[in-house]
């Protein structure tokens, strides 16, 4: 039977659904895989909520009650309150060290795979053994990361949620005995969904599932599943915790003229150099720690003592640091700090994150990368503001420079330019950041070259290893 469309051509109705299915399959989708992606998204959103509850509880018990210090908050997660003073400064190093000790004992006693920043472990699992993430890793990662960050250790929330949601997807794929290719896509979608939920950035999170696996390629098969999973995770998380962007509605932030793009280009150069320093410092600490002749659970505790002391001197070092970023996006916040302190923040955050996570602690490095970039942008604006000849050309607020620095630093070193740009736009409800961020990011990416913060990334899809055969019983864990 044939139907005539409005253009006058004959179309076979049986061809239409087949054509639609071919287009859907092209991007890794069919009814079953998209349904599973939606299920993983729901689980990822629930997992992100549990992790945030655990993190807030640990922060209140350890950093606030024991340490006598309340970190600053963002508009979307606490109303944008300022940090408190240190009522018991002597206790801060001890609390951070205690958190590192407990985290180290948990990780190396029960699930060594939970060591480090989580996202890299998820990428490795996707490439090599997507059904091989043990369920206990999910639980250990959740608890250890909440304790590490909640006690004041420098780390991000995205790494834990990425590994938690990837682990959930891995368990589902293993139980259903999915083929290797489908399992890879499902775990990639899970990783994306966890990040999308915790940052309330569904589009940027979905793109991470496509971009983050390779240095020079995209995982096109994961596009539709990642979109479905990320949206579902965002809906579940937002239903409980709200959908206000993390840094609030910053739609008024924009650049003031074409002349500012010269400064954005210079900022891109600084961002590329700082991004390389971040990756170099992190892996230098990791390598040095692994060579130490002491129990593996001890270095995170010793590192915590140092991080606690550093946190007494430099704002934004303790915990995630997102609240400090919120303050640095305003002229009052940026100009309230001496320029020397403002310049010190990104370097102190690099050192603190390298120690907290590179020593064997548990937490993310994505979030600290954004703090490093935002602090760089705010310091750059503040330095120019102090020079009368330049003050008029940079605009009245450091916010656009902070956002551009955020995108350029981590987008370049993670090799995720599209995802990072979208995420920052979603976290601020501001699309105006895209043009200057694109310029700075391209320049930073050229400087970064093949350096990466995620060493499990492959160059391209043609480097994928042969699938690991699925066998009965629990997976073999190396």
Architecture of the domain made up of 260-448: Orthogonal Bundle (1.10)
Distances (CA, A) of 68 to 22, 83, 201, 203, 353: 59, 11, 32, 38, 22
CATH fold of 24-245: Clc chloride channel (1.10.3080)
Give percent of the chain above pLDDT 70.
Answer: 91
* Spans of all domains in the chain: 24-245, 260-448
Answer whether 24-245 and 260-448 agree in fold. yes
CA atoms of 347 and 204, how far apart (whole Å)? 26
pLDDT at residue 121 in the model: 87
User: What confidence tier does 391 reach under pLDDT thresholds 50, 70, 90?
Assistant: confident
Q: Which residues contact 192 (CB under 8 A, 6 or more apart)?
A: 205, 206, 207, 208, 209, 210, 222, 226, 229, 230
CA pseudo-torsion sign 46, 48, 53, 54: positive
Q: Check if the beta carbon of residue 96 is closer than 8 Å to that of residue 318.
A: yes
Q: What predicted TM-score, i.e. pTM, was given to this entire model?
A: 0.89
Quick one: which H or E segment has residue 293? none
Q: What is the mean pLDDT of the chain?
A: 89
- What pLDDT was estimated at residue 320? 94
Check whether 13 has a pLDDT greater than 50: no
pLDDT level of residue 378 (50, 70, 90 thresholds):
very high
What's the burial of 83, exposed, middle or buried (CB within 10 Å: 0-12/13-18/19+)? middle
Q: Note the pLDDT tens digit of each residue in 305-360.
A: 999 999 999 999 999 999 999 999 999 999 999 999 999 999 999 999 999 999 99
Residue 379 token pair: 């310091």
Helix (H) / strand (E) element for 357: namely helix 339-358
- 73-132 residue pLDDT tens: 999 998 999 999 999 999 999 999 999 999 999 999 998 877 877 888 899 999 999 999
- Structure tokens, 299: 């270095």
Rg (the chain; Cα; Å): 22
């Amino acid at each position: 039977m044939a139907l005539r469309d409005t253009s006058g051509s004959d179309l076979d109705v049986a061809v239409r659904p087949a054509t639609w299915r071919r287009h859907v399959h092209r991007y890794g989708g069919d009814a079953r895989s998209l349904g599973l992606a939606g299920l993983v998204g729901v689980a990822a959103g629930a997992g992100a909520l549990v992790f945030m509850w655990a993190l807030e509880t640990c922060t209140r018990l350890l950093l606030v009650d024991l340490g006598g210090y309340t970190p600053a908050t963002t508009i979307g997660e606490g109303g944008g309150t300022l940090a408190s003073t240190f009522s018991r400064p002597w206790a801060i190093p001890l609390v951070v060290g205690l958190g590192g000790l407990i985290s180290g004992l948990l990780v190396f006693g029960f699930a060594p795979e939970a060591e480090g920043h989580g996202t890299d472990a998820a990428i490795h699992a996707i490439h090599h053994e997507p059904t091989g993430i043990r369920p206990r890793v999910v639980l250990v990662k959740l608890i250890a990361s909440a304790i590490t960050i909640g006690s004041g250790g420098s780390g991000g929330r995205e790494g834990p949620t990425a590994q938690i949601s990837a682990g959930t997807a891995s368990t589902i794929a293993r139980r259903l005995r999915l083929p290797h290719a489908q399992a890879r896509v499902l775990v990639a979608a899970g990783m994306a969904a966890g990040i999308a939920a915790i940052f309330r950035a569904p589009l940027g999170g979905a793109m991470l599932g496509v971009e983050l696996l390779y240095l020079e390629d995209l995982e096109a098969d994961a596009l539709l599943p990642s979109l479905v999973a990320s949206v579902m995770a965002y809906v579940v998380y937002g239903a409980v915790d709200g959908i206000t962007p993390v840094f609030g509605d910053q739609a008024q932030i924009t650049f003031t003229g074409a002349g500012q793009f010269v400064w954005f280009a210079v900022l891109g150069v600084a961002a590329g150099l700082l991004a390389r320093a971040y990756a170099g410092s992190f892996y230098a600490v990791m390598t040095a720690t692994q060579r130490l002749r002491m129990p593996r659970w001890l270095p995170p505790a010793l590192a915590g003592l140092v991080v606690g002391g550093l946190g007494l001197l430099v704002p934004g070092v303790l915990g995630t640091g997102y609240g400090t970023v919120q303050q640095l996006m305003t002229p009052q916040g940026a100009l309230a700090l001496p320029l020397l302190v403002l310049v010190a923040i990104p370097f102190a955050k690099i050192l603190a994150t390298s120690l907290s996570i590179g020593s064997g602690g548990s937490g993310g490095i994505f979030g600290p990368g954004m703090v490093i970039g935002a602090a760089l942008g705010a310091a750059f604006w503040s330095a120019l503001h102090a020079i009368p000849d330049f003050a008029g050309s940079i605009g009245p607020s450091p916010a656009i420079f902070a956002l551009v620095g955020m995108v350029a630093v981590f987008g370049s070193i993670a090799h995720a330019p599209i995802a990072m740009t979208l995420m920052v736009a979603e976290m601020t409800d501001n699309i105006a950041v895209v043009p200057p961020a694109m310029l700075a990011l391209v320049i930073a990416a050229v400087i970064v070259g093949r350096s990466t913060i995620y060493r499990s990334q492959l160059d391209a899809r043609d480097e994928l290893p042969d699938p690991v055969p699925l066998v009965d019983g629990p997976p073999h864990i190396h």
